[in-house]
Amino acid sequence: VAQFPEAVDLVVTAANILLEGAPDAFVPLREWESISPFGTLIPSDGRDATDFQGHFDLSTASEDDFEAIWNLVDYTLKFNRGYRSTAPEREVFRSDGKVIWTSKKKQSLPLSEDDIRSTLNFLLVRVETKDNLYVMMTNQMFSIISESEPTNHLHSMYVAKDVMNADNACLDDTSSALCNSAYVPVAGHEERIIS
């Protein structure tokens, strides 16, 4: 937690805003699919945020509620490309952003730093505009880092929707040649299963 304290604060703030200010934007986990080649859950049946009646419309959100969600997007943009201005994206998300979110259940969000550090929690936030998609997910796993407590980690992605297609990922049989290539082992590197 100490390594990325700003990220922890942003997630906790957004989680509290979502639970208190946008509970209707919660979409049960059963309505998401984990088949996405883009490394994130996607709403099932090809739906997007506007297909859910309770989505959280950032154009009508209070400034504080908008900032809590925007700060997640802003953090990802700055982490990715440095500290150049994010004002154009902020304007688009403020006027056109739609939010849905999920967790194991509505009450299992990470609502404090202790939740992120010591509990098994899961939160996925999806913010869409007409042309862009932002996804943030925090979850945990047990690993060599800690055999007795969960190791929570954050994933985030900002992408133009028009690149989310078979030319850029292994979606289906029409996907690029890269997806259809046969596995070629690397000489001198035997695969071993560690048990």
Cα separation, 106 vs 27, whole angstroms: 9
Residue keyed to tokens 């078979």: 166
E-only strand ranges, 58-131: 98-102, 123-128
pTM of the entire structure?
Answer: 0.81
Cα separation, 61 vs 10, whole angstroms: 17
Structural element, H or E, at residue 2 = none
Cα separation, 51 vs 128, whole angstroms: 12
Sign of CA dihedral 33, 103, 10, 98: positive
Cα separation, 173 vs 78, whole angstroms: 35
The pLDDT value recorded for residue 187 is 61
Structural element, H or E, at residue 77 = helix 63-81
The pLDDT value recorded for residue 178 is 56
Sheet with 132-143: strands ordered across: 56-57, 98-102, 123-128, 132-143, 146-160
Q: What is the mean pLDDT of each run of 10 residues along the chain (195 residues)?
A: 73 92 94 78 91 96 97 92 91 98 84 76 91 88 55 82 75 60 55 42
The pLDDT value recorded for residue 142 is 47
Cα separation, 31 vs 61, whole angstroms: 25
